[in-house]
Amino acid sequence: MSSVTNVVVNRGIKKILMCDQKSRNSLSLAMMRNLLEHIKEGRENQDLRVIILAAQGPVFSAGHNLKELTSEAGRTKHEEVFRLASELMSSIIDSPVPVIAQRPLVCQLVAQCDIAVCTENSKFSTPGANFGIFCSTPGIPLARKVQGSTALHMLLTGLPITAAEAKASGLVSKVCTADDLEGEVQKISDAILSKSRSVIGLGKRFYYKQVDLDVRRAYDLGGEDGGESGHEGRQGGNQELRGEKEAGLVARGQ
């Protein structure tokens, strides 16, 4: 456990808990370094199957720490903040296992995570313009996740959207009651755990390779990648199955 995050690993699920409530779990340099370390750590461990980003307190994350973006902080600090933010978001894409945002409120993490689950009272905003700082980097995943009109509305006005509007726009995957939140995230995690890690990893990698391509090029890539992915997936699945059988024999004392 660090001063800003706490990590719990159970049954192949790594839960990274943001716990810097003094800064409303802002994406400070310290927070981003911690998240980046925990997302990258053990990524090749075959037992790791899911990563969940969650938070203590009423706020998932308030976005960037504005104290680090003042004129007094200087250009060098600003560049470090945005460089690290870009590296953090890229680490979510590059993670071989799905990354789930649980109970999210900050748009950049929500939009970049593979799956996002929130409560009915959640709101989402990109408020940088309200403070004289346009949300350039948060707008990158946002523009790729929702309709252009929704992204521009959020970026140019700084006004929040509701959980229902976020679901309708594609920003979040599921909306549920606060009481059902843990169960919904567990249900999604269990569905992923029941699949081959190799297949899920290959599928996620292909998705991000093709999603912004011209549709014809995407189909070409699918043809090229499909054979390779199918072979690797079968190989990985066979290895996982052998591992499960061996574990079962050990458990039965054979």
Owner of token pair 């996002």:
116
- 119 contacts 177 by C-beta, under 8 angstroms: yes
Lowest mean pLDDT among 38-42, 72-76, 108-112, 224-228: 224-228
Closest alpha carbon to 119 in 106, 99, 102, 98: 102
| Residue 127 backbone dihedrals phi, psi, to 5 degrees | -85, 10
Report residue 150's pLDDT band, with 50, 70 and 90 as the boundaries.
very high
How large is the average pLDDT for residues 193-214?
95
Averaged pLDDT for residues 238-247: 51
Distance CA 198, CA 230 (A): 10
Q: Is the dihedral of CA 222, 227, 229, 234 positive or negative?
A: positive
pLDDT score for 230: 57
Q: Rounded to the nearest 10 degrees, how much is the dihedral formed by the CA atoms of 115, 80, 78, 76?
A: -170
Whether 222 contacts 203, CB under 8 Å: no
Closest CA to 185 of 176, 198, 197: 176
Please tell me the predicted confidence (pLDDT) of residue 26: 83
More confident residue, 189 or 18: 189
Contact 200, 98 (CB under 8 A): yes
Q: How far apart are the first and last CA of the chain?
A: 39
Digit-coded pLDDT (tens) for 62-75 = 577 667 666 776 77
Q: Where are the beta strands (DSSP E) in the chain?
A: 5-10, 13-18, 50-55, 99-102, 115-119, 123-124, 161-162, 174-176
**Is 5-193 in CATH node 3.90.226.10?**
yes
Confidence at residue 38, expressed as pLDDT on a 0 to 100 scale: 96
Please state, in angstroms and rounded to a whole number, the distance separating the CA atoms of residues 209 and 127: 30
